[in-house]
Structures are given as C-alpha cells and as structure tokens.
Structure 1
Amino acid sequence: MKVVFEKVVMLNERIAKYLTLIAGIIIMALMFTITISALSRHFLDRPMAWVTDTSTYALLFVTFLGAPLLAVENRHINVEMLPASLGRRGKAVVQFVTNLVSFAMSLIIAWFALKTTLQAYTEHEVDTNILATPMYLLFGIIVVGALFMAFSFLINALQPSRNSKDKQ
C-alpha cells in the first residue's frame, strides 16, 4: 500500500511540474505577444485588440496551472506566527489542520467552478469581447487547478513528512 501511495505522490508531483511548465510557456508567450502588440501600435499604428483579452485569459491560466505545484511543495501562503510559538507536535497539528482546510476549500472551489463550467457549456455562454471565447474554457481551468491543489493538500495531510520546510 505504501508503494502505491508513493507512486501516486510521484505522479502528482510530476503532473504539477508539467502544469507549471505549461504556465511558464504561457507567460513567455504573453510577454512575446504584448511586446509585438506594443511595437505594432507604436511603429505601425496598428494595435492588436485581441492581445488584451488573451492576456487576461493567460493570467487566469497561469494562476490555476501554477497553484498545484505551490501546494505540492508547501509553498502556498501561510501564517507562521502561531506555529513558530508551538513545539514540534503543535506545529504538526497546525500543519495537518491547515492541509485539511485547504483541501476542503480547494474542493469547494472546484465544485462551484465545475457547476459554472457545465452551465456555461450547456448555455453556450461566450465572453463579450472581440474573440467571443467560450466561457467554459475559462471556467474549466479553475476546475483543473483546484482539483490538483485539493489532491496535493490531501497528500500533504496524509504524509506529514512532506510538510517539512527543511526540505526546501
């Protein structure tokens, strides 16, 4: 059973790293398109209207593709004043509770995002901009990111040794 759990942990880490790699590629593409758009607007007097919309989408995708790795590596935002004043056992309890609450919150976000995604898909909702992007594509990435975050928080709760800041 332990071997299976370790393989699941490794698979989760690998997926989180690939999602973060995709987020990095999106950031590079974002920098390129913004630069080309600025040059086009300045030198050719031809702004690229679609760049603003795709930049907004890119930031959404980067956020939810990068978040799972933060959960895997325990680098998400947390308050360290309380745990710093506790002993080793107290810190472990706080970390466990934090991971369980984060797991629950990620699942709630994923659930509501899934409901919104399905509604947007069935009602053929599109963004009211030049691209008319289907909204389910935008909401869907929230589902993906939140589910992988939830899974990572659950793994962290079940395997306390992964929570050590010393390994960073």
Structure 2
Amino acid sequence: MTPLIDKFEVLFEKFNIWIAICVAGSIGLFATLVPFDFFSRKLGGRGLEWLNEGAEYGLYAGVFLSSAWVLYKGAHVRVDIILTALPARIGAKVERAIDLSGALLCLLMAYFGAKGTFSSYIFWSLPDKDLQVPNWIVLGVFTVSFVMLAIEFLFRYRRAGRPDHEISTDIGF
C-alpha cells in the first residue's frame, strides 16, 4: 500500500503541472490579445483598456504560482559549485539543510503574506488602477505561492534523503 504522503506528492505534482499549463495558456492568450488590441485601436475601435493591467496581474500570478513547479523541475537558478566539490554524503546533508531552510523561509513569507492578506481583506483596500482587483486577492496569490514553495522544499528534503536521489535536469513539460 502506498503511503499517504506519496499520494499527496503525486497529486501536488499534478496540481503544479496544471498551474504551469494555465500560466503558459495565459501567456499565449495575452500574446494573442496584444496584437488584437493594437489592430482594434488602429481601426478606430476602443481596444481592450484592461489589457495592460490584466497582463500585469496575469504575469504576477503566473510567476508566483508556477514557482513551485519551477523548483520541482530544477529549472530555477542554482549554483552547485559547493555541492559538487563536497563528498557525496556531506553534499547530500548540505542540500537537505538548504531545502529545510528554504521551507522555513517560505513558511515565514507565507505567514507575513497571510497577515497582509487578512488585513487587506478587512480594510477592502483597492489599487489605484483601471482594473481594480482587491489587494487581498493579489496578496493571497503571494501567500498561496509561498505555501506551495514550502511544500515543494519539504518534498525536495524528503527526496534528497533517498539513496536513489538525482538532481532533476528535466526542464519543461
């Protein structure tokens, strides 16, 4: 029987892939809407007034929410000079310490993000923009993304402790 944590890890990976697909789709959508907006304005139409700010929100959410997937894929910026210079056993311990530190730091960021999200929700603060997405939603994306990063760091910590552990170099879908 498969342990519950293994099932959760598989489900979390599928969820991250789904988010990455949605982010890629949103980038494709904005790449299509920008020329449409341009030609619409050139032909005398109103265009899409919300497009620039919508793209800002979309990129913000996309970068933050897909960061756990990027971490899982090993596609983030990472310097392995120290880890490769150390003996394998010590390098694995250092990697696990870094993963645990990353999880703790992400949980701390999620805590502060949650405080800001809650405060923004209570006061119902809005940005000074044409497309007004309440600030608590924007801060909620920040909070959720750091919780997801903490989970991925803990999974990395768990995977680094296995004897068959290899650093992932598989980038992309």
TM-based fold match above 0.5: yes
CA gap of 1:136–1:6, structure 2 versus 1, over 3 A, is same
For structure 1, list consecutive stretches of 5 or more residues without a partner in the other structure: none
Distance in 2, matches of 1:18 and 1:144, equals 15
CA distance in 1, matches of 2:102, 2:35: 37
Q: Structure 1 residues 121 and 163, CA, compared in 2 at 3 Å: closer, same or farther?
A: farther
Q: 1:103 to 1:144 in 2, by over 3 A?
A: same
1:9-158 to structure 2, matched below 5 A, reads 9-44=9-44, 46-158=46-158
Q: How many residue pairs get matched?
A: 168
Q: What displacement does 1:46 show? A: 3.8
**Cα distance in structure 1, aligned partners of 2:139 and 2:120:** 8
1:142 shift after superposition? 1.1
- 3-state SS of paired residue (1:77): coil
Deviation at 1:20, TM superposition (A): 1.1
TM superposition outliers: structure 1 runs of 4+ over 6 Å = none
Using the alignment, how far apart are the partners of 1:15 and 1:163 within structure 2? 22
Q: Distance in 2 between matches of 1:167 and 1:4?
A: 27
For 2:83, the aligned partner's letter is: P
Mark the CA change 1:75 to 1:128 in structure 2 (over 3 Å): closer, same or farther: same
Contact in 1 for aligned 2:110/2:142 (Cα 8 Å): yes
Q: Secondary structure at the match of 2:51?
A: helix
Is contact 1:114-1:140 (8 Å) kept?
Answer: yes
Task: Indicate if the aligned counterparts of 1:110 and 1:147 stay in contact, CA closer than 8 A.
Answer: yes
Moved more, 95-104 or 66-75: 66-75
TM-score using structure 2 length: 0.86
SS in 2 for 1:36: helix
Distance 2:169 2:147 in 1: 25
Structure 2: segments with no counterpart, 5+ residues: none
Question: What is the root-mean-square deviation in Å for CA atoms of aligned residues?
Answer: 2.1
| Contact map agreement 2:17 2:69 (CA 8 A) in 1 | yes
Partners of 1:163 and 1:127 lie apart in 2 by 45
Tell me whether 120-129 or 68-77 shows the greater mean CA deviation: 68-77
CA shift, 1:69, in A, is: 0.7
Contact kept, 8 Å, 2:118 with 2:136, in 1: the verdict is yes
